[in-house]
Amino acid sequence: MATGELTHMTSPGEYIREELKRRGWEQKDLALVMGRPVQRISELVLGKTGVSPELAVELAAAIGGSAEDWLLRESTYRLSQTQADTGDVRKKSALYELAPIRDMEKRGWIRRTTTAGELEEELKRFFGTPDLSHPPSLPVTTRRTGDDSEEAQELTQAQRAWCFRARAMAAEQILPPYNPAKFDACLRALRPLAAFAPETRKVAAVLGNHGIRFVIVEPLPGAKIDGAAFWIDDNPAIAISFRYDRIDAFWFTLCHELSHVQHRDPLSIDTALIGEEAIPSAMKVAFEERADIEAGGTLIPQDKLDSFVRRVAPYFDKERIIQFAHVIKVHPGIIVGQLQHRGQIGFHANRDLLVKVRKHAISGAVVDGWGCTTV
């Protein structure tokens, strides 16, 4: 029997019926040849039962063709009978490529939906766009000292969603106008708060008094994001993720973002700022390297830290770190973080000084995550 004698829409049963007719056989003859009940052959001819791999081998031996031919006829016929509209599936697939849907639903950023149309409307609302044919982008300011270029940043699904949520929360805040002439005064007001962990609860208020929006958003799984700085109209905004709940991580990230604010850098999404995975400053683009350097010097005068290192290295015991912290009036955990960042001590040294501050910081800030939402 030649493959393809009948159309691709023909069932295997039709092939069998035509072959029996050509041979002058009845169904019971084929049943006897194959050692199958007549009822089974009848169901096969009528298309009530499909061609299994075992039946394909037997049909090939009994009436010709190969087992592969019979399986192909079976699959082709079954597919031709499937009239499902895959448009909704395709649209949902595209939307799932655009955003981390399940994580956003869990966080309550979008409501749970059943159809692709409903999901599309939820994402349009969340991203604030009427068109999802391209990945939503965040407004980027290009006003930067001595540089009018725009730095493009490729964001992951989770990072993009996190940034849009942070931006929406920051946009809800009503603050006095930002005055860049008072930026140094803002830093002076913040610095005393770095001496004691509970004082981090006052950070949001100090920033707000100076027209800087501040939000804390728990990171989405896989986002690996530490913080972001961006602009909403003429007010800067800073978002912190608390990926690491440590006093050094909080203050270094905050001061890094404040550097972006001071220099009116474009949208900056910062990852790998802290810890063993931190990217060396020298490997970063110029304005990110500058932000790292300025973040280190905001709370700790670098000449004093240099002097401390020369006097103490390589024996940075806890007592000396605490004494130095008292002299410059910052928490000793911030000293430890700086020493780790410089490679002077290992990441497992003096970890008891790296106290947690998230519970203090979120008590005075606009927050999304860890079971609480203040917007």
Pair (234, 368) in one structural domain = yes
List residues bridging with 227 in a β-sheet: 240, 270
Pair (117, 228) in one structural domain = no
pTM over 0.85: no
Sequence-ordered list of residues with C-beta below 8 angstroms from that of 217, at least 6 positions apart, any chain: 162, 165, 166, 169, 239, 240, 241, 367, 368, 369
Q: Average pLDDT of 348-368? A: 96
**Any idea what DSSP says for residue 221?**
T
Sequence-ordered list of residues with C-beta below 8 angstroms from that of 55, at least 6 positions apart, any chain: 44, 70
Residue 114 maps to a domain: yes
Give the residue carrying structure tokens 């020493």: 339
Domain with 232, as residue range(s), is: 175-303+331-373
Q: Is the pLDDT of residue 375 over 60?
A: no
Total of domains in the chain: 3
Pair (122, 18) in one structural domain = no
- Which is nearest to 31 in space by CA: 52, 58, 66? 58
Residue-wise pLDDT tens digits, 288-337:
999 999 999 999 999 999 999 999 999 999 999 999 999 999 999 999 99
Pair (212, 348) in one structural domain = yes
Q: Which two tokens stand for residue 13?
A: 């049963």
pLDDT at 142: 38
Residue 222 maps to a domain: yes
pLDDT at 282: 82
Residue 323 maps to a domain: no
**For residues 118 and 135, is the Cβ–Cβ distance under 8 A?**
no
Residue 60 maps to a domain: yes
- Which is nearest to 291 in space by CA: 215, 241, 219, 229? 229
Q: Is the pLDDT of residue 144 over 50?
A: no
Pair (46, 93) in one structural domain = no
Residue-wise pLDDT tens digits, 245-282:
999 999 999 999 999 999 998 788 998 888 788 888 88
Residue-wise pLDDT tens digits, 56-82:
999 999 999 999 999 999 998 888 877
- The CATH number assigned to the domain holding 72 equals 1.10.260.40
Residue-wise pLDDT tens digits, 86-113:
778 899 999 999 999 999 999 999 999 9
Pair (54, 196) in one structural domain = no
Q: What percent of the chain has pLDDT over 90?
A: 76
Residue 272 maps to a domain: yes
Residue 248 maps to a domain: yes
